[in-house]
Amino acid sequence: MKLPKDADWHSSPLKHKGTFLRPLVVALIIGLFLFLILVMGIMDLGRLDKTLVGFMENRGLDIITTVENVAQENLDYLRQALEKGAKDDDVVVPFSEKVFSPQEALVKSLVVLAREIDSKWRAGQLSEEDLKEIADREKLWFVAVLDGDDKVVLKSGGFLKEFSPGTNHDATWNEDMIIDLFDRFGKLNEMGYITLRRKDGSGSILIALNDKGLRSWWGPRIVIKKAIEEVGWDQQGLDHLVVINRSGRVLGQAGNVQEEFKDVDAVALDVLQGKVKKASRKMAFGASELLEITVPVRLDEKIVGFARLGLNRVSSDRILKENRNRMIVSMIFIMAIGILSMFALYRSQKRYSLRMEEMGKRLQQAEKLSALGQLAAGVAHEIRNPLNAISMASQRIRREYSPDEKEKKKGFQYITGIISEEIKRLNRIVEEFVIFSRSRRLEFKNHSVTYVLERIVGLIREEANLRKIDIKTVWKDGNSFIIPMDVDKLRQAFYNIFKNAMEAIPDRGTITISAEPNGEDMISIKISDTGCGLTPEEIDHIFDPEYTTKEKGLGLGLSLAHEIVRGHGGEIYVESEAGSGTTFVVLLPVKNREKDNG
């Protein structure tokens, strides 16, 4: 008798081969998602930073534009004052406050310079070379030191004619000196000069300034310095402002200006040459975080220098920090959601995998049971009839051909007894196959679970007593638990479990049988023994048809029980530890699920 071609008695449990989103894949997806969020957050922070920098740059440009406008206005007023002073030496033209203000600032600066020269002359530390250096540095047309008779003692260069003081347009008295303002003389009506005369008449300092010097140095210096003062330096967020001309000299400054801010570096050169309209950089100075803006400064629509304006970044950095913190919190929140999702997916997939693995085992078991069922029909037909013939022949031989000699007869009886026992064993195997093949066809009727259990206890009690095994039943009297069942098949399933429990107890012990409701739609039957227990590996294979721990038998009893319980829409599982007994738990539905589903 051959097995069916599709029977595979040695295949490993069926495993799910479908595609799963494994936790590692989920982790990679979440990591990619977080990376994209991080990149987008960094890009957003970059855009926000650029926006804030652009806002601060515009603010700085507005300040510099205001300084330029005020400086240009002051420069026009200064020119206006000088032009009025040059029209008529004998006529005094009254100046308005706006016109006189830049003129006064210019005079004050020239007076300061004249005082420095006079101080060096008094101390004997002044030479013509020194005067030339001062004239070149300060862009003066002429500088001279005169004695009490107005004779030139020291001078920075040639003079077109002997000095002859003209009519004073204005004179200012000081404690020790008299200042003549902007006298014009001779053909040099384009020249303006001041004379700083000592009060005791012991000498004078003459400073001559032409239009070139006014345009290139003194004009921009005076008007820009005054413009910075007029614009004011108490605006919130401003740290420093310095305006430097093409020669690297400071035209005006305010705030916390350090020496390194006055350097004419490559950026400043690009600004002066018109290569860039503006440049900005972030810098740290002490405890201050600054944005320094470098822009050209124009007067008369010409670049006369560059300005460096330092703006405090406290507000912008606070905004960036708040957005950065929000991004971090968002990422942590998303990461937490991702981890929880990954954990939930892992749990779900693990349960699903376990179900698929269980279904695979059941499918494999069903295939094996199906193969056994197909084999059983052939076994019953091919083996049972020859076994009957062999059994009858064995009985006839034992009855009719027994030897007379005592010794031979004894041996003859022993051998024929072995033949008879083996025939019975083969017949039991065939019976198991036949019962197994018929177990898949169930006929349901409402019946009492406790009645079935009591009948089985009555059948096995005598054998249990011989084995010194006590049998206890635990259920309330009158609680019969009526459920739909195939009585014969279910009795066979419980009988196989009871037999397994008795065989698991080597010497004395107890079997406890209980029945109780399990929820609203299930009945729980527990069969516990005090036997040797099972290992985890034995529990995994206990319902496999080909698996058995007995020296004799095919191991089909528990497989048959499992098949019958599953056919009733129930569940059966084992709770056991090696050396501490075993409990079979059978869950049966109160309603016929096949009918409900049909």
CB under 8 Å to 453, separation ≥6 — which residues? 473, 494, 513, 515, 525
* Structure tokens given for 197: 């005369």
Cα–Cα–Cα angle for 509, 559, 494, rounded to 5 degrees: 50
Alpha carbon separation from 347 to 359, 398, 469 (Å, rounded): 18, 67, 44
Tens-place pLDDT, residues 276-309? 888 988 887 777 788 889 999 998 888 889 999 8
3-state per-residue secondary structure call for 1-32: CCCCCCCCCCCCCCCCCCCCCCHHHHHHHHHH
Q: Which two tokens stand for residue 61?
A: 């440009």
d(CA 339, CA 345): 10
**Successive 10-residue mean pLDDT values, the chain, 598 residues:** 40 44 68 80 81 85 89 81 54 50 78 86 88 87 83 76 46 44 41 72 82 80 86 72 89 84 86 88 79 90 89 80 80 78 78 82 71 63 74 81 80 82 74 60 85 87 87 77 87 87 87 89 91 85 70 66 87 87 92 54
CA distance 281 to 291: 6
In 200-313, alpha helices (H):
211-213, 219-231, 266-272
Cβ partners under 8 Å of residue 312, min gap 6: 237, 238, 239, 288, 289, 290
3-state secondary structure of 72: helix
Of 238, 353, 590, the closest CA to residue 449 belongs to 590
Phi and psi at 204, nearest 5°, equal: -145, 160
Do 470 and 511 form a contact (C-beta atoms < 8 A)? yes
Give the Cβ contact number of residue 381 at 10 Å. 11
Q: Are 132 and 154 in contact (CB under 8 A)?
A: no
Q: Kind and range of the H or E element at 428?
A: helix 406-438
| 261 DSSP 8-state letter | G
Q: Contact, 26 vs 374, CB < 8 A?
A: no
Selection from 150, 135, 311, 270 nearest residue 210 by Cα? 135
Q: At 162, which amino acid appears?
A: E
The three-state secondary structure class of 485 is strand
C-alpha dihedral, 249 to 253 to 257 to 259, nearest 10°: 10
Identity of the residue numbered 176: D
First to last CA, the chain: 38
Q: What does DSSP say about strands 171-173 and 250-255: parallel, antiparallel, or unpaired? A: unpaired
- Tell me the C-alpha distance between 572 and 483, whole Å: 17
The confidence score (pLDDT) of residue 6 equals 42
- 103, 169 Cβ separation under 8 angstroms: no
3-class DSSP assignment, residue 161: coil
What is the H or E stretch that residue 65 is in? helix 23-87
358 Cβ partners below 8 Å, 6+ apart? none
Alpha helix stretches (DSSP H) within 215-291: 219-231, 266-272
Nearest residue to 142 via CA among 124, 162, 160, 156: 156
CA distance 196 to 113: 10
Helical (H) or strand (E) element with 183: strand 177-183
The phi-psi region of residue 282 (left if phi > 0; otherwise alpha if psi is between -120 and 50; otherwise beta) is beta
Q: Are strands 177-183 and 192-198 parallel, antiparallel or unpaired?
A: antiparallel
- Identity of the amino acid at 417: G
pLDDT of residue 112: 85
Task: Determine how many CB atoms are found less than 10 A away from the CB of residue 589.
Answer: 18
- pLDDT tens per residue, range 512-554: 999 998 888 899 999 999 988 888 888 887 887 666 665 555 5
Q: In what order do the strands lie in the sheet containing 469-474? A: 469-474, 509-517, 522-529, 582-589, 571-576
pLDDT of residue 105: 78
Q: Which two tokens stand for residue 445?
A: 């009727």
Q: Alpha helix (H) ranges present in 193-265? A: 211-213, 219-231
Q: In this predicted structure, what is the pLDDT of residue 11?
A: 39
> Using N-to-C axis directions, what is the helix angle for 314-382 and 384-400, rounded to 10°?
50
